[in-house]
Amino acid sequence: MNSNNEGKMDVLNNIDDQFKELLELIEKEKVSSFSMKHFDRLKKKRKTSKKKWFIIGFLILTLISMYFILLNEQLTYNIYFVFLSFVRLILIKILPYWNWTKIYTNLCFIANPFFNNSLDVSECNKCVNTTEIIKQSNITFFNFTKSIYLNHLPVIIDDATDSWPAMKELTLKKLFQLFIEDPVLAENDLCYFETNIRNYNQAEGADRLFNDYINGKRRSFIGQWNNCKRETLKVIRSYYNKPYFLPPSVTQTLMGNWFLVSAGFHKGTDYLHRIPLNYDWVWLAQIQGSSLIELRPKHPCETICSILKSVTLNKGDLSNDCFFLAKESYWTR
């Protein structure tokens, strides 16, 4: 009997010991779980703190960088025009999906009935002190933009065409042959053509003038034309590059290429032929020979600003003219 009781007590004691061990393990697990949670919270806090200080440091470095960039005006211009180039590239990519050109070509984003596009006398101060066209060479686009473009000054750059294929490959005869023989140029009609010889100011008059000059039947004439078809622009652009002094954001025009030509015509300033370019800015390149240019101010600046007379463009010169204040520009030779 006693032995049975002792056996039962041993079993109960063993069970009791196991329960105690179990309770101890549970207590330890609770402490361990609490410690892990506390450690996780500390770890998250440290990560948040590091992220916070990283953002603060990045903002401070950005502000310092912007400060030094703004101090360097040329670097500011570089970044600005690179940014514009990037925006232009994006706009070109989205053009097939959204035609933004209608908004781009509008003078006002929202129609303003009080908008007046005419010049005011107060704006004539941009040309009042301009008495001649300055000459430059090896000019950076930063200096060009700051000192010339933003001040609306006409300028002649004498080294802008040095690398152009047109300077070596295009004579007047070869230019006429190009328009007759090239399949793209021959297929697309000119958008505008005018000459001082009345017989050629008719349908297909340009082709007849080109052929007559090539065959030696016409030596003395003056003429101008525009090829504005997009297909023809690619052909002509293979003979010249965008002027090196223009910012990266400035693209080649889609308005077409203008050609102003003459042969055996030396009447000087007694006979000036109007250039039909009604744009605020335009650049003219002298491929062969020389020309005389005259710039006349627009209304109401014609009585305040000077007429720029007898400006000579020699072979290789490129004239970037401000027509913002020019009513008419004339050329001869």
With a pLDDT cut of 90, the percent of the chain lying above it is 9
Torsion of CA 184, 186, 189, 190, to 10 degrees: 90
Average pLDDT along the chain: 77
pLDDT confidence bin for 108, thresholds 50/70/90: low
Give the tokens for residue 275: 């250039």
Q: Which residues contact 281 (CB under 8 A, 6 or more apart)?
A: 149, 320, 321, 322, 323, 324
Residue 167 has a CB neighbour count (10 Å cut-off) of 17
Give the tokens for residue 272: 């000036």
Domain ranges of the chain: 121-332
Phi-psi region of 181 (alpha: psi -120 to 50; beta: other; left: phi over 0): alpha
Which tens digit of pLDDT belongs to each residue from 67-102? 776 677 677 777 777 777 788 788 888 888 888 877
Q: What is the mean pLDDT of residues 308-330?
A: 67
Give pLDDT, residue 116. Answer: 59
Alpha-carbon distance 309 to 131, whole Å?
9
Give pLDDT, residue 165. Answer: 92
Checking if the pLDDT of 330 tops 90, the result is: no
pLDDT confidence bin for 328, thresholds 50/70/90: very low
Instruction: Answer with the residue of higher pLDDT: 166 or 7.
Output: 166
- Angle CA 226–273–312, to nearest 5: 95
195 close to 223: Cβ distance less than 8 angstroms: yes
Report helix, strand and coil shares of the chain as percent, to nearest 5. 45, 15, 35
**Residue 320 DSSP SS3:** strand
**Residue 283 DSSP SS3:** strand
Give pLDDT, residue 324. Answer: 39
Which tens digit of pLDDT belongs to each residue from 15-37? 666 666 656 655 655 555 545 55
Which tens digit of pLDDT belongs to each residue from 163-209? 899 999 989 999 999 999 999 998 988 888 988 888 898 888 899 99
Element (H, E) at 192: strand 192-195
Superfamily of domain 121-332: Cupin (2.60.120.650)
Q: Which of 2-11, 75-84, 176-185, 295-304 has the lowest mean pLDDT?
A: 2-11
Residue 145 has a CB neighbour count (10 Å cut-off) of 19
Give the tokens for residue 118: 């005419």
pTM of the model: 0.65
Which tens digit of pLDDT belongs to each residue from 241-277? 888 888 766 666 666 788 888 887 765 555 677 777 6
Alpha-carbon distance 329 to 320, whole Å?
13
End-to-end CA distance of the chain: 142
